[in-house]
Amino acid sequence: MAAAETLGTRLRRLRAERRCSLSELSRRSGVGKGTISELENDRRGARLDTLFALTTALGAPLGALMPDGAAAAGAQVEGDSVTATLLGSWPMERYLVEVYRATLTERRQESAAHAPGVLETVTVVRGRALAGCADAERELAEGESLRYRGDLPHRFAAIGAPADVVLLMHYPGQETSEGTMTDDR
């Protein structure tokens, strides 16, 4: 049985598949070359906003950098307000859907715009949350959902106490065996 791939191995391979230099990825993503090098050499972990910046710049879904199989059990990524675990992904005819279980804190998560055409759907499982595009967030109670454009700046925060949510990321295009996206529209 092969050892689980590290974040560094996945990032280096994805960058090589895209024929993208470290300098070019830094320019596109806004992440420093030193940080990318440290990530690729497994010398540091990455926050959610960093992973999104890198995958957006490489035209790949966030899950392309997340562990799969047994290694994924309990693997989490964190942002200012969000701790998320990838539960699974489903390539569809015209898009890829990734499903995350996430816990929100009361601290506001400011998320930069993702790749063009990305949509997000948040469903509150426990507690209350504020979610949606910047300056147009909605308060959601248990059982309520909101779908909004992930390709615009957006925000998350729990209200009053931590909240558990399910987050669906809808990426336009289709995932190939290498985790790349193609646009078949």
pLDDT digits (tens, 9 = 90+) for 18-65: 999 999 999 999 999 999 999 999 998 888 889 999 999 999 998 888
Please tell me the predicted confidence (pLDDT) of residue 164: 98
Please tell me the predicted confidence (pLDDT) of residue 89: 87
Q: What would the two tokens of residue 48 be? A: 């959610």
Task: Specify whether 28 is located in the same domain as 106.
Answer: no
Please tell me the predicted confidence (pLDDT) of residue 6: 86
* 113 Cβ neighbours under 8 A, 6+ residues apart: 150, 151, 152, 153, 154
Per-residue pLDDT of 91-128, as tens digits, reads 988 899 999 999 999 999 999 999 999 999 999 999 99
Task: Specify whether 11 is located in the same domain as 60.
Answer: yes
Domain that holds residue 106: 77-175
Task: Specify whether 101 is located in the same domain as 137.
Answer: yes
- Please check the confidence at residue 174 and state whether its pLDDT lies above 60: no
DSSP 96: E
Note the pTM of the prediction, 2 decimals.
Answer: 0.81
Which amino acid would we find at residue 147?
R
Task: Specify whether 41 is located in the same domain as 81.
Answer: no
Residue 25's closest CA among 59, 71, 76, 61?
59
Task: Specify whether 55 is located in the same domain as 108.
Answer: no
Is residue 182 assigned to a domain?
no
